[in-house]
Amino acid sequence: MKNLRYFLFAILAGTLLISACKKDDNADKSKPFIEVLGYDPVYTALGMPYVDAGALAWDVTATGDTVDITNRLVTEDNVNIQVADTYEVTYNVSDEAGNAADERKRQVKVVIGK
């Protein structure tokens, strides 16, 4: 009887362990996407203020709903309006499941002139 109890306990523990390790088939596997607003490239005059047009970020959830995740968007803007050159603004986002979107970029050309 004692051995039967240990055997049943081992079977139960093994079953729980296997089910805990099983991946969720309903997990969100789709990566979000980024929509860059405005033009690319953008031209701005040397010394004039530059305000980026920004971007929107969207995610399709595991249930198939499309949700706005723009509040999670990370923008890197290294535009120096005091130096004529070509710069990049980059946009990145990850959804709640940790899926990362393809990075999007915009070129900003600071030029001499009006």
pLDDT at residue 98 is higher than 60: yes
Please tell me the predicted confidence (pLDDT) of residue 12.
61
- Within a domain: 97: yes
Structural domain range at position 46: 25-111
16 vs 47: which has the higher pLDDT: 47
Kindly state whether residue 13 falls inside one of the protein's structural domains.
no
3-state helix, strand, coil in the chain (%, to 5): 20, 35, 45
Q: What is the CATH number of the domain that holds 82?
A: 2.60.40.10
pLDDT digits (tens, 9 = 90+) for 2-27: 666 665 556 666 665 565 555 555 67
Domain count across the chain: 1
Checking if the pLDDT of 113 tops 90, the result is no
- The per-residue pLDDT for range 28-39, each reduced to its tens digit, is 789 999 999 999
H/E element, 105: strand 104-111
Q: Are 112 and 46 in contact (CB under 8 A)?
A: yes
> Is 3 a domain residue?
no
Residue type, 100: A
Supply the pTM of this predicted model.
0.74
In a domain, 7, yes or no: no
The pLDDT score that the predictor gives to residue 61 is 86
> What is the enclosing helix (H) or strand (E) of 94?
none
**Is residue 20 assigned to a domain?**
no
